[in-house]
Amino acid sequence: MTGAPVVAGPDTAPVVEILAPEDPRVPRAEHCVTGELIAARARAHPERVYAVFEDGTEWTYGQVYDDARATAAALHRLGVRQGDTVLCWLPNGLDALRVWYGVNLLGAVHVPVNTAYRGSLLGHVVDNSGARVLVAHARLAERLEHAGRGRLDTVVVLGGGPDEPPPAPLSGSLRVLGPEALRARPDEFVPPPRPVAPWDTMAVIYTSGTTGPSKGVLVSYVHHYSTVTALLDDDITEHDRYLLNLPLCHGGGTEVAYCMLLFGGSAVITDGFTTGEFWDVVRRHGVTMCTLLGAMVDFLLGVPETARGREHPLRAACVIPLNRQALDFGRRFGVAVYTGFNMSETPAPIVSDLDPERTGSCGRPRPGVQCRVVDEHGIDVPDGCAGELVLRADRPWSMFHGYHGMPEATAAAWRDGWFRTGDAVVREPGGDYFFVDRIKDAIRRRGENVSSAEVEAELLGHPAVAMAAAVAVPSEQAEDEILAALVLRPGVLFDPVELMEHLRVRMAHFMVPRYVRVLPDLPMTETGKVRKEALRAQGITPDTWDRAAAGIEVRRERVG
């Protein structure tokens, strides 16, 4: 069970069931299954606060258990049974959590949907999920008119507010119900016929879909438990309060919510990140830990320093990626920082120590996982050379066990019992792993392989640049040219010619972008990743500056 997943048929018992009760590598149900954790916390300390929401509402563990059981009872009344998939299309908040927990109490599978989805992408997720029931926010439900319906027969609409009209019917045979459809009494909860097992599917988490249709990652309870205890277990106690500002349609959000259940702490739930409100939220709610992605750190460093800079309860931040700005953030605000490598399919296989000294490192493989760096043939490359990161885990079911409804994609993700991440990394002789690029984002120019991540790092070193993305665009000759898409800092003067001079002395000649395009914002996924396929598709637009047209050449410097 440490290699590729076994894809069982509907009448096939999970192979791991033979091993798990006696296998110390697999946590018992009471230690990892969502419903078991909620029940245990409610019995032990029902009055303890589990979550605080943006409006100041507090949700205790006792209320979590009651609301989850009531929601599960209502979903059962709608026909949801153990093993069914249930779509949840809600913004961060109490409703999103109670639906998730109610679904899992029934032994059903939680399928959160990105609130940015619409059209064919939304239709793909709905169809691929195979769900019959969707719980959606009132402002999102109307998008179903322009998307495929799959097997959907019931849509429950929440969040319309007391003064708004009831949900309008959708075309076709869909049954559209209002908030009353999810109201029931906790004592009406009907437990599933079979106890929920650690290796059961907890959720289907859809990838960003930047290279094709989104893939639904099958996540077991063991998988989620393994990720959280590896990446977020920085001496977390019941006294910690974690800021959950990443979307609950993604592992970055669900892992925080689950982590607090696991350790008995609490979370502050917000619907996104806002620079100007970050420290106020931290101070007002006593936030001790958080996760910061991408440009969040840069935005926070851009806020003028004040005398209260270190007057806050925040003690640790998981920062991805660990760049120079991340270390500056830790020093300026007195916060311990750390990082790691993870993706929806994996259980946080690489984690750093607190306050690492070197930027760019993802850390080292944690106990229980094996990492290799290989070439296109699966052969190990020497330390210091870039190759694809491949992984496997010792704990059964701690990796994803397939892509929902995509057996070909599942098979393609594994080779010789190793999961292929699609990420190019370098392992240094000391054991640290350094991310180079997504293999699909690598650029081939002038006979050289160019890392878009390395180009972006140099672009971000320019004082006028707040955000940057480097992508390949077609060249008049063979191979690629490089386009730099930039978001500028407010109020700065920017000259692309001066940018070329800045880059010329800092990078190899073949890495210097030919094209520069300034945008108000970069196209982003809900999880903070740049949608590079959108930039590639837009290509060379009329507002794109061309270094060659400006007569600026960047040539190889002759040595000797």
Q: What single string gives the DSSP state of each residue in 236-281?
A: --TT-EEEE-S-TTSHHHHHHHHHHHHHT-EEEE-SS--HHHHHHH
Q: What is the pLDDT of residue 370?
A: 96
Classify residue 165 as exposed, middle or buried by CB count within 10 Å of its CB (0-12, 13-18, 19+).
exposed
Same fold? 33-43+59-196, 442-546: no
d(CA 232, CA 175) in angstroms, rounded, equals: 41
Q: What is the pLDDT of residue 146?
A: 80
Q: What is the pLDDT of residue 22?
A: 59
Position 441 confidence tier, pLDDT thresholds 50, 70, 90:
confident
Tokens of 502: 């800045």
Per-residue b or e along 314-345, where b marks 16 or more CB atoms closer than 10 Å to that residue's CB: bebbbbbbbbebbbbbbeebebebbbbbbbbb
Q: Name the percent of the chain lying above pLDDT 90.
A: 66
Beta strands in 145-210 (DSSP E): 154-158, 175-177, 201-206
Residue 510 has pLDDT above 90, yes or no: no
Tokens of 176: 């559209």
**548: helix, coil or strand?**
coil
Classify residue 70 as exposed, middle or buried by CB count within 10 Å of its CB (0-12, 13-18, 19+).
buried
Query: Which residues are within 8 A (CB) of 222 and not within 5 positions of it... i.e. 6 or more apart?
Result: 26, 27, 32, 198, 199, 395, 396, 397, 398
Q: What is the pLDDT of residue 439?
A: 81
Position 134 confidence tier, pLDDT thresholds 50, 70, 90:
very high
Q: What is the pLDDT of residue 229?
A: 92
Amino acid identity for residue 109 in this structure = V
Among 5-9, 346-350, 414-418, 540-544, the range scoring the smallest mean pLDDT is: 5-9
Residue 33 has pLDDT above 90, yes or no: yes
- Listed by start position, the domains of the chain span 33-43+59-196, 251-398+415-438, 442-546
Average pLDDT over residues 142-163: 86
Among 160-169, 293-302, 518-527, the range scoring the smallest mean pLDDT is: 160-169
Position 76 confidence tier, pLDDT thresholds 50, 70, 90:
very high
Average pLDDT over residues 337-345: 93
Average pLDDT over residues 4-18: 37
Among 157-171, 327-341, 376-390, the range scoring the smallest mean pLDDT is: 157-171
Q: What is the pLDDT of residue 413?
A: 94
Amino acid identity for residue 539 in this structure = G
Q: What is the pLDDT of residue 9?
A: 36
DSSP 210: S
Average pLDDT over residues 215-240: 90
d(CA 30, CA 37) in angstroms, rounded, equals: 6
DSSP 17: G
CATH number of 251-398+415-438: 3.40.50.12780
Q: Which CATH class is domain 33-43+59-196?
A: alpha beta
Average pLDDT over residues 38-66: 96
Q: What is the pLDDT of residue 465?
A: 95
Instruction: Count CA atoms within 13 Å of residue 276 on its CB side.
Output: 0
CATH number of 442-546: 3.30.300.30
Tokens of 535: 């930039």
Q: What does pLDDT average to over the chain?
A: 88
Among 178-187, 288-297, 435-444, 538-547, the range scoring the smallest mean pLDDT is: 435-444
Average pLDDT over residues 57-81: 98
Q: What is the pLDDT of residue 560?
A: 36
Sheet arrangement for strand 241-244: 58-60, 49-53, 266-269, 241-244, 289-293, 316-320, 336-338
d(CA 93, CA 54) in angstroms, rounded, equals: 8
Among 207-211, 410-414, 494-498, the range scoring the smallest mean pLDDT is: 207-211
Residue 1 has pLDDT above 60, yes or no: no
Residue 503 has pLDDT above 80, yes or no: yes
Q: pLDDT tens for residues 379-406?
A: 999 999 989 999 999 999 999 999 999 9
Q: What is the pLDDT of residue 164?
A: 61
Stated as kind and residue range, the H or E segment containing 7 is none
Sign of the dihedral through C-alpha 282, 284, 287, 290: negative
DSSP string, 444-505: EETTEEE-HHHHHHHHHTSTTEEEEEEEEEE-SSSSEEEEEEEEEPTT----HHHHHHHHHT
Q: What is the pLDDT of residue 165?
A: 61
d(CA 240, CA 264) in angstroms, rounded, equals: 9
d(CA 526, CA 529) in angstroms, rounded, equals: 7
Place of tokens 């702490």: 265
Stated as kind and residue range, the H or E segment containing 413 is none
Position 306 confidence tier, pLDDT thresholds 50, 70, 90:
confident
Q: What is the pLDDT of residue 7?
A: 38
